[in-house]
Structure 1
Amino acid sequence: TQPSEVTTSITTQPSEVTTSLPYSSTVIKVQGCGVTVGCYSDCVGLKCSFIISWNVNESNAVYTLTSTVARTSAKWIAVGFSSDNLMGNDDVMGCVSDTSGNVVLFTARNTKHSSPIMYKDTEIKLTAQKSEDGVLSCTFLRPIAASGDERVNIDEPWTLLFAKGPGKISSSGQATVMYHKSDYHVSALSLKVSDLVDLGAKFIEYPLVKVHGSLMIVAWIFLASVGIIIARYYKPVFIHEVCSQKAWFLAHRICMMLVFCATAAGFIIIFVEVNGYSKIMESKTFLKGHPIIGIIVMILTFLNPVMAMFRPHPGTPKRPIFNWAHWFVGTSAHFLGVVNIFFGVMLIKANVPFYLVYILVAYASWQIFVELLLEIIKFLGKRQDNCEVYAICSKDGPGDGLAVDSTRIIFVKRIILGVHFFIVAAFAVTLIVLLDLGNEKLATY
């Protein structure tokens, strides 16, 4: 990932002859792609949101970058030459344009989690530029040969990375390059400058991030939502025993054990993906709390079953303390888990449309509605649930005296539970499917 803002003092270095690029209100595919010039783009037919074309000119290469950009603010576009399909330790060249149409060249070495290392390469020339009507286009003359540890030899195969984002140019000619968010693509193949191909683009994907998110959705949107209301409202309904345990408690314990397993698996997977603690580089500051909240959720998820293993016996003075502590830890874990999923779908690596946030709002509203409805039913039925949340009610235990809901209330509660089960399952499946598809696949539908 990239930092929120990088500033460089590199200014435009035009060659002796500067040409004007033709005006265009949309990006049209370059003629001769795959024949006279190499092309890398996301074109559908002749229409593109970006295209990079190149050819060889003796010991130099000529690259032209063209992309749709924001009309009302300064912006940058760039191409990176990478040894893999991920950002990090890449040779980057690009241009920044302000709202007046001024264009500045920049060159850099991209890094993975920190600011790009900007450097000035006087051998790379900006020979043509155009910023007009929502389209930015820059043409570079670049030596094919490498230059130290900075400029790479493009006669060797490299994966092409394209990105664009907001930027600005100061009055002194300094260019500021800000984080590109989700506006980046990666070539499907590694290419040399002599490869005159017509290659499509794909988004950089993070499959382990999607697995992590899917596990957390299963844990907190589905399993916890069902397990918590069973323990809180269904003890008088499921009083029969299964394997010498109350049915409500067995269902609750299975749900929460699966919550722990899914959360732990997702926690380990994301640590593997980021090689340790994740340093979130986002323009929205509150999203940087995602890994911190995740660690807190994992601690709470681990703590609750450990607390249950050492719970005081029913009727002892410390039992009420355990009950409140267990309720508080479980409720906090559920609340923070859902909040963190909100944060997660807004992260760049999730690569999902923003309307997933609205789906999560709908889920949260439903969960609150169901719990309020069950509270009202409990109040109107005047049935106080005296069996403790995590009690294992034995034959001689206090659970034997538990009042049983009336037949009518039991029927209504079972209908509510069945509807709730299928609705939260539908929310979870919808979120997982959209997360798996991502922006680029959804855009094709």
Structure 2
Amino acid sequence: MLELRVVVKMIQHIYLIAIVAVLLKSWTPTSSLPHGAPETICDTMLPYHSGIEPSNSVPPFRIEPSAAMIGQGQTLRVDIVGAPEGLNFGGFMIQARNRNPPYQILGQFNPTADGSAKLMNCENSVNNSATHSNASPKPVISLEWQCPVDFLGQIVFNSTVAQTYDTFWVGIPSNPIQVVKREIAPSVIGISSTRPPLTNTVRNYVPEPEKEAAVPKVDDPFYNGCARSKTCFGFPDGCVKTKSCVAVGSVIVRGDIYEFELKGATNEPAYLALGLSTDDKMGDDLVTECIVQNGKVALFTSLTSGKPNYGTTRIGVPQKNAKIVDSSLIDGKIYCKVQRDILTTVQGQMFDLMNNQYYIMVALGKSVKDNGAGYHDIGRIVSGKAIILSDVQDLSGSSNILLRLHGAFMVTAWIGTTSLGILLARYFKQTWVGSHTCGKDQWFAWHRICMVTTWGLTMAGFVIIFVEIGGWSAARNPHAILGVITTVLCFIQPIGAIFRPGPNDRKRPIFNWLHWLGGNLAHIIAIVAIFFAVKLSKAELPEWMDWILVAFVAFHVIVHLIFSVFYCSQVGGCMADRQISQRVNSFPMGDMSGNRNGIKLERKMDAPFASFRKGLLSVYIIMLIFFVVVLDIIVCLAPIDRAYDELKSKLAN
């Protein structure tokens, strides 16, 4: 009986222990850590709240520094406040970090008079972080931060704020603060914000109007070490040397750690991406995407698809082979630092970062899809060669000579030779009468030379661009379809001219109208296509090129109007002009008798205003050459702004 009672007691104890364990497992605390964040999370600022993930929504809290500029060694106030005001939070953790690599924690916080904050020692430095001392609800917290005396650059305050135990946001950034030399900075101790501080221990700041110092320009430290300790690559091509990239990526290898950094210099993008490819074309490429989501930067891995359905997809792509080490979204500009595994297998394709060579692609775009990045409508560049990622080097983009030739050929053809050829055919049939070139009237000979040149340049440009792109353009721009229509019309124009009916054939008027319609329609569509080419990110053309095109169109139309007025007035109206033109150029059979000499005499005489037409034509040709040369220079040296800056720098040196 004794042994039976012992067994029953043991079973009862085990049962009670099991109940307690279940209750403990199912219990969820409802408040933040009561005594602040532990120093074990100094690096990540991620609280250990029973495995609860941080919120991805837009934070309802703001980090408000009391100044945008501070001198070395000076102090400013930092407030954590709800948005809207009055929204309470329980816990927080805050640090000031260098905005640029190596992103170290900077400065130190001063103790609060009311004991509402507890100071932390992170990275073996004293009081460089702060957290809550109690988890009671609070609408605002005010802290004083001391700037280091040996730092110049920009800092950003990052904070983790917990509204409740299971609702918190990690890494909420403040606006950047510029740290300058103390002698050029105003006193910033206790600059008042839009809301009064919790205590009266902070003095209000009175600015000195006579010393309104400009913020000095600070070189972007992202480029430090490029071509020495890391490989940097961005667009426009060559921008790394001038530290002026619209988007730039870098690769640094430390042992078996492969680290990629990406930074954009525009506040428009929805994503910034870096791709690794076995060739210089899009398709089956491993892409690291830094995507803007809910006011933060999220990391994804995707795979590109080639022609005809260009794009990226995350379907079937493992996301665990990369992790985001650091990121920021300041003034809409994306920055991210990512570490990738050496080996990544995607849909049966292995990407070996250690042993394989890869082309590097950098892309920036304004839109994202459900399963991948959208079109790179801000810009994209591919490296000129494949590299071993651990080999540090100065990397440049692939040659774009074919793209530039395409643009130059089309501008020369449709702004230059076509415009001149149409003008000659319309207004100069009764000029230089009796003078011939290769047995043809002058207007016809030069019209044909212009149009044959247009045909040759257009066909060459059409072939070149398809060789360059390797298929149909994926850009959301009508330039490509307009270019194809222009090319088709241009191709059939000389074929129709070869089979044109004779002067007295009843079908000749039909041919004349169709030939006129085809030529003018191709000319108009081509100029519209050139306007749309300015919007192509791959072309890298400046937006102000539109004004040069508008100026050309206006000049061309004005010259046409002047010619039309004088051309019609010389015979008392355009209807009479067409009758004279037909009689002079067609040689009716009835005139082949005694009046033939009279006709020859008439054909040796230019129509009225011939001298004026020749003079205006000379002016038109000079201006036409000017427009073509200027536009070709812009196309061939694109991006022309950077080319101008480089030339200016060389001349200055």
Q: TM (normalized to structure 1)?
A: 0.81
| Percent of pairs with identical residues | 27
What is the deviation of 1:87? 3.6
State the shift of 1:438 in Å.
Answer: 0.9
Instruction: Return the letter of the residue paired with 2:526.
Output: G
| 2:107 is aligned with 1:22 | no
Contact 1:43-1:50 at 8 Å conserved across structures: no
Quote the Cα distance in structure 2 between the aligned partners of 1:213 and 1:66: 30
How far apart are residue 32 of structure 1 and its match? Answer: 4.5
Letter in 1 for 2:359: T
Match of 1:436 in 2: 636
Per-residue deviation, 1:416 = 0.6
Match of 1:181 in 2: 377
* 1:410 aligned residue: 610
2:457 is the counterpart of 1:262: yes
Q: 1:39 offset after TM fit, Å?
A: 4.2
Q: Which deviations, in whole Å up to 9, do the C-alpha atoms of 1:276-305 show, x marking residues without a partner?
A: 5x24422xxxx33x3333333233223333
- Residue identity in the other structure for 1:103: V
- Compare CA radii of gyration and give the structure with the larger one: 2
Q: Give 3-state SS (helix, strand or coil) of 2:286's partner.
A: strand
**1:217·1:432 contact (CA, 8 Å) conserved in 2?**
yes
Q: Which residue of 2 aligns with 1:78?
A: 273
| Equivalent residue number for residue 292 of structure 1 | 481
Equivalent residues in 2 for 1:81-160, closer than 5 Å: 81-98=276-293, 101-113=295-307, 114-118=310-314, 119-148=317-346, 149-150=348-349, 152-155=351-354, 156-160=356-360
Distance 1:340 1:404, change over 3 A: farther
What residue is the counterpart of 1:305 in the other structure? 494
Partner residue, 2:51? none
Matches within 5 A, 1:31-430: 31-33=224-226, 36-40=229-233, 42-44=239-241, 49-70=246-267, 75-98=270-293, 101-113=295-307, 114-118=310-314, 119-148=317-346, 149-150=348-349, 152-155=351-354, 156-167=356-367, 177-187=373-383, 190-197=386-393, 199=394, 201-202=396-397, 204-242=398-436, 243-276=438-471, 278-282=472-476, 287-288=477-478, 290-382=479-571, 384-385=577-578, 386-387=580-581, 400=600, 401=602, 404-405=605-606, 409-430=609-630
Aligned-residue Cα RMSD (Å) equals 3.5
Higher relative contact order (CA 8 A, sep 6+): 1
Deviations 1:145-185 (A, max 9, x none): 2425456211133222222222469xxxx776332224233
- What's the secondary structure of 1:315's corresponding residue? coil
- Write the distance in 1 (CA, Å) between the matches of 2:402 and 2:371: 35
Structure 1 Cα separation of the partners of residues 374 and 382 of structure 2? 19
Deviation at 1:339, TM superposition (A): 2.0
Alignment partners' CA distance in 1, 2:388 and 2:583 = 65
Structure 1 unpaired stretches of 5+ = 1-14
d(CA) in 2 for partners of 1:38 and 1:332?
A: 49
TM-score, normalised to structure 2, is: 0.57
Q: Residue 300 of structure 1 contacts residue 329 of structure 1 at CA under 8 Å; is this kept in 2?
A: yes
CA 1:184–1:151 in structure 2 vs 1: closer, same or farther (change >3 Å)? Answer: farther
SS of the equivalent of 1:152 reads: strand
Is the CA contact 1:215–1:266 (under 8 Å) kept in the aligned structure 2?
yes
What is the DSSP-based 3-state SS (H/G/I as helix, E as strand, rest coil) of the residue aligned with 1:79? Answer: strand
Shift of 1:247: 1.7
Question: How far does residue 372 in structure 1 lie from its aligned partner after superposition?
Answer: 0.6
Tell me the distance in 1 between the aligned counterparts of 2:224 and 2:497.
69
Q: 2-side partners of 1:189 and 1:316: how far apart?
A: 61
- Report the Cα offset of residue 105 of structure 1: 0.6
310 and 127 in structure 1: CA distance in 2 versus 1, 3 angstrom threshold: closer
Q: Report the 3-state secondary structure (helix = DSSP H, G, I; strand = E; otherwise coil) of the residue aligned with 1:110.
A: strand
Structure 2 letter corresponding to 1:422? I
How far did 1:370 drift?
Answer: 0.8
Q: Judge conservation of contact 2:358–2:389 (CA < 8 Å) in 1.
A: no
Question: Separation in 1 of the partners of 2:526 and 2:500?
Answer: 24
Q: 1:350 to 1:357 in 2, by over 3 A?
A: same
Runs of at least 5 residues in structure 2 that lack an aligned partner in the other structure: 1-40, 46-94, 100-153, 155-175, 177-217, 648-653
Tell whether the 8 Å contact from 1:37 to 1:196 is kept in structure 2 after alignment.
Answer: yes
Question: Conserved in 2, the CA contact under 8 Å of 1:245 and 1:392?
Answer: no
Deviation per residue, 1:72-98 (Å, 9 max, x gap): x56222211123344433211121124
Decide whether aligned partners of structure 1 residues 225 and 392 sit closer, same or farther in structure 2, where only a CA change above 3 A counts.
farther
Distance 1:30 1:379 in 2: 65
Change (3 A) 1:388 1:364: farther
Contact 1:323 1:389 in 2 (8 A): no
User: 1:3: which partner in 2?
Assistant: none
Residue 131 (structure 1) shift: 1.5
1:392–1:426 CA distance, 2 compared to 1 (3 A): farther
How far is 1:186 from its partner?
3.7
Contact 1:97 1:104 in 2 (8 A): yes
Q: 1:151 to 1:318 in 2, by over 3 A?
A: same
Deviating more after overlay: 78-87 vs 351-360? 78-87
Q: Is the 8 A contact 2:377 2:475 kept in 1?
A: no
1:134 is displaced (CA, Å) by 4.3
Secondary structure at 1:77's aligned position in 2? strand
Deviating more after overlay: 218-227 vs 150-159: 150-159
CA distance 1:59–1:273, shift in 2 (3 Å) = closer
User: Amino acid of the residue matched to residue 550 of structure 2?
Assistant: V
| Structure 2 letter corresponding to 1:221 | I
Structure 1 position 268, deviation (Å): 2.6
- Contact 2:364–2:380 (CA under 8 A) maintained in structure 1: yes
Mapped to 2, the partners of 1:236 and 1:246 lie a distance apart of: 10
Q: Is the 8 A contact 2:312 2:371 kept in 1?
A: no
Residue identity matched to 1:441: A
Q: 1:361 to 1:127 in 2, by over 3 A?
A: same
Confirm or deny: 8 A CA contact 1:82 1:161 kept in the other structure.
yes
Query: What do residues 354-405 of structure 1 show as CA deviations (whole Å, max 9, x unaligned)?
Result: 2222211111111111111000111232262533599687996998555944
Indicate conservation of the 8 Å contact 2:323/2:338, yes or no.
Answer: yes
Say which is worse superposed, 385-394 or 303-312, in terms of deviation: 385-394
Q: Please say if residues 239 and 248 of structure 1, whose CA atoms lie closer than 8 Å, have aligned partners that are also in contact.
A: no
| Alpha-carbon distance between aligned partners in 1 of 2:493 and 2:584, rounded to the nearest angstrom | 10
Q: 2:493·2:515 contact (CA, 8 Å) conserved in 1?
A: yes
Q: 1:152 to 1:180 in 2, by over 3 A?
A: same
